[in-house]
Amino acid sequence: MLVAAAVCPHPPLIVPELAGAAAAELDGLRAACAAAVESLLAVPHDELVVVGGGQTTRVYGGQAAGSLRPWGVEVKAGAGEPVLPLSLTIGRWLLRRDPDGFQEVAFDAPPGDCLDLGASLVRGPRVALLVLADGSACLTEKAPGYLDPAAQPYQEGLVRALAEADAAALAALDPAEAERLWTGGRAALQVLAGAADQPLTGTVLADTAPYGVGYVVATWT
Protein backbone atom coordinates (compact mmCIF):
# COMPACT_ATOMS: atom_id res chain seq x y z
CA MET A 1 0.00 0.00 0.00
CA LEU A 2 1.28 3.45 -0.92
CA VAL A 3 1.17 5.60 2.21
CA ALA A 4 3.11 8.62 0.92
CA ALA A 5 5.07 9.94 -2.04
CA ALA A 6 7.29 12.91 -2.78
CA VAL A 7 7.97 14.16 -6.30
CA CYS A 8 11.13 16.16 -6.96
CA PRO A 9 13.00 17.19 -10.14
CA HIS A 10 16.52 15.99 -10.82
CA PRO A 11 18.54 18.76 -12.53
CA PRO A 12 22.28 18.38 -11.81
CA LEU A 13 22.38 22.10 -10.93
CA ILE A 14 20.34 21.42 -7.80
CA VAL A 15 23.66 20.35 -6.26
CA PRO A 16 25.40 23.60 -5.16
CA GLU A 17 28.90 22.35 -6.03
CA LEU A 18 27.81 21.96 -9.65
CA ALA A 19 25.78 25.17 -9.85
CA GLY A 20 28.68 27.35 -8.72
CA ALA A 21 27.86 31.04 -8.93
CA ALA A 22 24.31 30.22 -10.04
CA ALA A 23 23.61 28.12 -6.92
CA ALA A 24 21.46 30.82 -5.30
CA GLU A 25 19.00 30.71 -8.21
CA LEU A 26 17.90 27.25 -7.10
CA ASP A 27 17.87 27.85 -3.33
CA GLY A 28 14.08 27.84 -3.25
CA LEU A 29 13.88 24.63 -5.25
CA ARG A 30 16.41 22.92 -2.96
CA ALA A 31 14.47 24.03 0.10
CA ALA A 32 11.22 22.71 -1.37
CA CYS A 33 12.83 19.35 -2.16
CA ALA A 34 14.23 19.13 1.37
CA ALA A 35 10.77 19.86 2.79
CA ALA A 36 9.17 17.24 0.55
CA VAL A 37 11.68 14.59 1.63
CA GLU A 38 11.20 15.53 5.28
CA SER A 39 7.43 15.21 4.86
CA LEU A 40 7.86 11.83 3.18
CA LEU A 41 10.10 10.43 5.91
CA ALA A 42 7.71 11.68 8.62
CA VAL A 43 4.98 9.31 7.42
CA PRO A 44 5.28 5.90 9.12
CA HIS A 45 6.38 3.38 6.50
CA ASP A 46 7.93 -0.06 6.23
CA GLU A 47 9.70 0.41 2.90
CA LEU A 48 11.15 3.40 1.06
CA VAL A 49 11.84 3.16 -2.69
CA VAL A 50 13.40 5.82 -4.93
CA VAL A 51 12.03 5.89 -8.50
CA GLY A 52 13.57 7.71 -11.45
CA GLY A 53 14.02 7.57 -15.20
CA GLY A 54 17.02 6.16 -17.04
CA GLN A 55 18.06 4.28 -20.13
CA THR A 56 16.62 0.98 -18.96
CA THR A 57 14.31 -0.53 -16.35
CA ARG A 58 16.13 -2.20 -13.50
CA VAL A 59 16.40 -2.46 -9.72
CA TYR A 60 19.33 -1.39 -7.55
CA GLY A 61 19.92 -2.23 -3.91
CA GLY A 62 19.45 0.38 -1.24
CA GLN A 63 23.20 0.92 -0.82
CA ALA A 64 23.79 1.73 -4.49
CA ALA A 65 25.69 4.93 -5.19
CA GLY A 66 25.77 7.56 -7.88
CA SER A 67 28.16 10.30 -8.98
CA LEU A 68 27.98 13.68 -10.68
CA ARG A 69 31.44 13.28 -12.16
CA PRO A 70 29.99 13.07 -15.73
CA TRP A 71 28.62 16.58 -15.11
CA GLY A 72 31.97 17.97 -14.05
CA VAL A 73 32.08 17.74 -10.25
CA GLU A 74 33.41 15.09 -7.88
CA VAL A 75 30.20 14.82 -5.88
CA LYS A 76 29.19 11.33 -4.87
CA ALA A 77 25.90 10.17 -3.37
CA GLY A 78 26.20 6.99 -1.33
CA ALA A 79 29.13 4.65 -0.81
CA GLY A 80 30.58 2.17 -3.25
CA GLU A 81 31.06 2.20 -7.00
CA PRO A 82 28.71 4.73 -8.69
CA VAL A 83 26.10 2.89 -10.77
CA LEU A 84 22.93 4.97 -10.47
CA PRO A 85 21.60 7.11 -13.35
CA LEU A 86 21.30 10.88 -12.85
CA SER A 87 17.71 10.82 -11.57
CA LEU A 88 18.43 8.27 -8.85
CA THR A 89 21.75 9.93 -8.01
CA ILE A 90 19.92 13.18 -7.28
CA GLY A 91 17.31 11.21 -5.32
CA ARG A 92 20.05 9.61 -3.21
CA TRP A 93 21.66 13.03 -2.70
CA LEU A 94 18.35 14.54 -1.55
CA LEU A 95 17.55 11.64 0.73
CA ARG A 96 20.84 11.71 2.64
CA ARG A 97 20.37 8.07 3.66
CA ASP A 98 20.04 4.63 2.13
CA PRO A 99 16.51 3.71 0.99
CA ASP A 100 15.31 0.13 0.80
CA GLY A 101 15.83 0.14 -2.96
CA PHE A 102 16.12 2.12 -6.17
CA GLN A 103 13.90 1.56 -9.20
CA GLU A 104 15.07 2.84 -12.57
CA VAL A 105 12.40 3.01 -15.26
CA ALA A 106 13.24 3.44 -18.95
CA PHE A 107 12.35 6.90 -20.24
CA ASP A 108 10.50 5.28 -23.16
CA ALA A 109 8.72 2.58 -21.15
CA PRO A 110 5.09 2.11 -22.32
CA PRO A 111 2.44 3.44 -19.93
CA GLY A 112 1.08 -0.02 -19.21
CA ASP A 113 4.51 -1.24 -18.15
CA CYS A 114 4.96 1.81 -15.91
CA LEU A 115 1.59 1.29 -14.25
CA ASP A 116 2.30 -2.40 -13.66
CA LEU A 117 5.71 -1.55 -12.25
CA GLY A 118 4.18 0.96 -9.86
CA ALA A 119 1.64 -1.57 -8.64
CA SER A 120 4.42 -4.10 -8.03
CA LEU A 121 6.32 -1.65 -5.84
CA VAL A 122 3.52 -1.25 -3.29
CA ARG A 123 2.75 -4.85 -2.46
CA GLY A 124 4.18 -4.32 1.02
CA PRO A 125 2.01 -3.04 3.88
CA ARG A 126 3.31 0.55 4.02
CA VAL A 127 5.42 1.82 1.12
CA ALA A 128 6.76 5.36 0.58
CA LEU A 129 8.09 6.54 -2.79
CA LEU A 130 10.52 9.31 -3.65
CA VAL A 131 9.88 9.97 -7.36
CA LEU A 132 12.33 11.99 -9.46
CA ALA A 133 10.65 13.56 -12.47
CA ASP A 134 11.36 16.65 -14.59
CA GLY A 135 8.58 18.35 -16.51
CA SER A 136 8.63 19.80 -20.03
CA ALA A 137 11.90 21.31 -21.28
CA CYS A 138 10.16 23.43 -23.94
CA LEU A 139 8.81 26.30 -21.82
CA THR A 140 10.98 29.17 -23.12
CA GLU A 141 13.10 30.04 -26.13
CA LYS A 142 16.24 29.29 -24.09
CA ALA A 143 14.97 25.89 -22.94
CA PRO A 144 16.84 22.75 -24.03
CA GLY A 145 13.95 21.85 -26.33
CA TYR A 146 13.25 25.46 -27.38
CA LEU A 147 9.78 27.00 -27.00
CA ASP A 148 6.70 24.96 -27.87
CA PRO A 149 3.33 26.71 -27.39
CA ALA A 150 1.84 23.42 -26.18
CA ALA A 151 4.37 23.08 -23.36
CA GLN A 152 2.86 25.56 -20.92
CA PRO A 153 -0.67 24.06 -20.84
CA TYR A 154 0.89 20.60 -20.72
CA GLN A 155 3.05 21.59 -17.76
CA GLU A 156 0.07 23.15 -16.02
CA GLY A 157 -1.74 19.84 -16.42
CA LEU A 158 1.14 18.01 -14.74
CA VAL A 159 1.12 20.46 -11.85
CA ARG A 160 -2.63 20.13 -11.46
CA ALA A 161 -2.43 16.33 -11.45
CA LEU A 162 0.22 16.41 -8.74
CA ALA A 163 -1.67 19.01 -6.71
CA GLU A 164 -4.82 16.90 -6.82
CA ALA A 165 -3.05 13.53 -6.43
CA ASP A 166 -4.80 12.58 -9.66
CA ALA A 167 -3.31 9.22 -10.57
CA ALA A 168 -5.69 8.81 -13.50
CA ALA A 169 -4.42 12.01 -15.13
CA LEU A 170 -0.82 10.85 -14.80
CA ALA A 171 -1.73 7.41 -16.13
CA ALA A 172 -3.24 9.04 -19.22
CA LEU A 173 -0.06 10.90 -20.23
CA ASP A 174 0.76 10.20 -23.88
CA PRO A 175 4.35 9.04 -24.46
CA ALA A 176 4.57 10.65 -27.90
CA GLU A 177 3.41 14.02 -26.61
CA ALA A 178 5.73 13.76 -23.62
CA GLU A 179 8.67 13.03 -25.91
CA ARG A 180 7.80 15.90 -28.25
CA LEU A 181 7.67 18.29 -25.28
CA TRP A 182 10.87 16.90 -23.75
CA THR A 183 9.12 15.69 -20.60
CA GLY A 184 11.80 13.59 -18.92
CA GLY A 185 9.64 12.48 -16.00
CA ARG A 186 6.70 10.94 -17.86
CA ALA A 187 7.59 7.30 -17.16
CA ALA A 188 8.46 7.90 -13.49
CA LEU A 189 5.19 9.78 -12.95
CA GLN A 190 3.27 6.88 -14.48
CA VAL A 191 5.02 4.51 -12.08
CA LEU A 192 3.66 6.74 -9.31
CA ALA A 193 0.20 6.53 -10.88
CA GLY A 194 0.36 2.75 -10.86
CA ALA A 195 1.44 2.74 -7.23
CA ALA A 196 -1.44 4.92 -6.06
CA ASP A 197 -3.71 2.21 -4.69
CA GLN A 198 -5.65 4.45 -2.29
CA PRO A 199 -6.82 8.10 -2.27
CA LEU A 200 -4.14 10.54 -1.14
CA THR A 201 -3.94 14.32 -0.73
CA GLY A 202 -1.59 16.25 -2.99
CA THR A 203 0.34 19.41 -2.12
CA VAL A 204 2.59 21.37 -4.48
CA LEU A 205 5.57 22.92 -2.71
CA ALA A 206 7.26 24.46 -5.75
CA ASP A 207 6.42 25.10 -9.39
CA THR A 208 9.18 26.84 -11.30
CA ALA A 209 11.03 26.84 -14.61
CA PRO A 210 14.28 28.80 -14.16
CA TYR A 211 15.90 27.36 -17.29
CA GLY A 212 12.79 26.73 -19.35
CA VAL A 213 12.36 23.29 -17.77
CA GLY A 214 9.37 22.59 -15.55
CA TYR A 215 10.47 21.69 -12.03
CA VAL A 216 7.65 20.68 -9.68
CA VAL A 217 7.97 19.56 -6.08
CA ALA A 218 4.95 17.86 -4.58
CA THR A 219 3.87 15.50 -1.83
CA TRP A 220 1.10 12.93 -1.70
CA THR A 221 0.05 11.92 1.80
pLDDT in tens, 121-175: 999 999 999 999 999 999 999 999 999 999 999 999 999 999 999 999 999 999 9
Q: CA 163, 188, 69 angle in degrees (round to 5)?
A: 115
What is the per-residue pLDDT for 9? 98
Distance CA 100, CA 123 (A): 14
In sequence order, what are the beta bridge partners of 65?
A: 82
Give residues with Cβ within 8 angstroms of 84, minimum separation 6: 60, 64, 65, 66, 77, 78, 92, 102, 104
* CA dist., res. 134 & res. 216, Å (int): 7
Q: What is the mean pLDDT of residues 85-111?
A: 97
Strands (DSSP E) contained in the chain are 2-8, 47-54, 58-61, 66-67, 76-77, 101-106, 127-132, 202-208, 215-220
Confidence band, pLDDT 50/70/90 cuts, at residue 34:
very high
Domains of the chain: 2-220 (3.40.830.10)
pLDDT in tens, 45-92: 999 999 999 999 999 999 999 999 988 888 899 998 999 999 999 999
3 — pLDDT class (breaks 50, 70, 90): very high
Inform me whether the pLDDT recorded for 19 exceeds 70: no
pLDDT at position 32, please?
Answer: 98
Q: What's the mean pLDDT when you consider all of the chain?
A: 95
Q: Model-level pTM?
A: 0.96
pLDDT at res. 73: 84
